């Protein structure tokens, strides 16, 4: 009887040590650098990472390059590298939203207006799609125009 109780105690102690060690390893693995894209887990359930997109902004075709960071920020570079857009994103399950802003320059390099964009989308494996409304604002913050943006993207 005594050896059964002793064995049960040893097994329980071993399980506690194993689980404690696993928790420490998991906590240290979860730490990321804020400005480095985070690779998604094997199920690709996270928007975090690098994506190549295509779609339309109003009547114009676009091919943006997205970087979604693990800290909830993002950067977007258009196909012509004309500007850098920055913003934030949130995800809940397969649904996500993001907001970004970028300047519009004239031929001299002066900022003449800003684009503010909001998108709502769904991630499915290595692709996502989104749609939303963007607005162009003058340098005083007055709305000049709005247009619809529709995007699809694939993980790089």
The number of beta carbons lying within 10 Å of the beta carbon of residue 47 is 24
The 10s digit of each residue's pLDDT in 24-58 is 333 334 444 455 555 544 445 799 999 999 999 99
Considering only residues 102 and 39, tell me which one the structure prediction assigns the higher pLDDT.
Answer: 102
Taking the model in full, what pTM does it have? 0.71
DSSP for residue 5: H
Q: Please give the CATH topology (third level) of the domain spanning 49-155.
A: Lipocalin (2.40.128)
Q: Please give the pLDDT value at position 35.
A: 58
Considering only residues 140 and 45, tell me which one the structure prediction assigns the higher pLDDT.
Answer: 140
| pLDDT above 90 as % of the chain | 67
Q: Please give the pLDDT value at position 33.
A: 47
Find the mean pLDDT for residues 134-141.
Answer: 98
Q: What is the mean pLDDT of the chain?
A: 81
What region, left, alpha or beta, does residue 117 occupy, with left being phi > 0 and alpha being psi -120 to 50 degrees? Answer: beta
Handedness of CA 68, 89, 33, 41 (dihedral sign): negative
Considering only residues 38 and 6, tell me which one the structure prediction assigns the higher pLDDT.
Answer: 38
Q: Could you state, in order of their start, the residue ranges of all structural domains in the chain?
A: 1-31, 49-155
For the chain, the residue count is: 156
């Amino acid at each position: 009887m005594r050896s059964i109780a002793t064995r049960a105690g040893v097994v329980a102690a071993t399980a506690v040590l194993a689980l404690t060690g696993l928790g420490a390893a998991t906590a240290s693995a979860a730490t990321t650098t804020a400005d480095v894209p985070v690779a998604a887990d094997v199920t690709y359930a996270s928007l975090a990472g690098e994506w190549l997109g295509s779609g339309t902004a109003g009547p114009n075709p676009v091919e943006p390059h997205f970087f979604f960071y693990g800290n909830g920020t993002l950067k977007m570079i258009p196909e012509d590298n004309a500007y850098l857009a920055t913003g934030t994103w949130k995800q809940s399950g397969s649904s996500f939203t993001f907001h970004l802003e970028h300047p519009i320059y004239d031929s001299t390099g002066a900022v003449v207006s800003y684009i503010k964009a909001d998108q709502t989308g769904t991630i499915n494996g290595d692709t996502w799609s989104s749609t939303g409304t963007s607005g162009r604002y003058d340098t005083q913050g007055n709305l000049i125009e709005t247009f619809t943006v529709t995007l699809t993207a694939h993980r790089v």
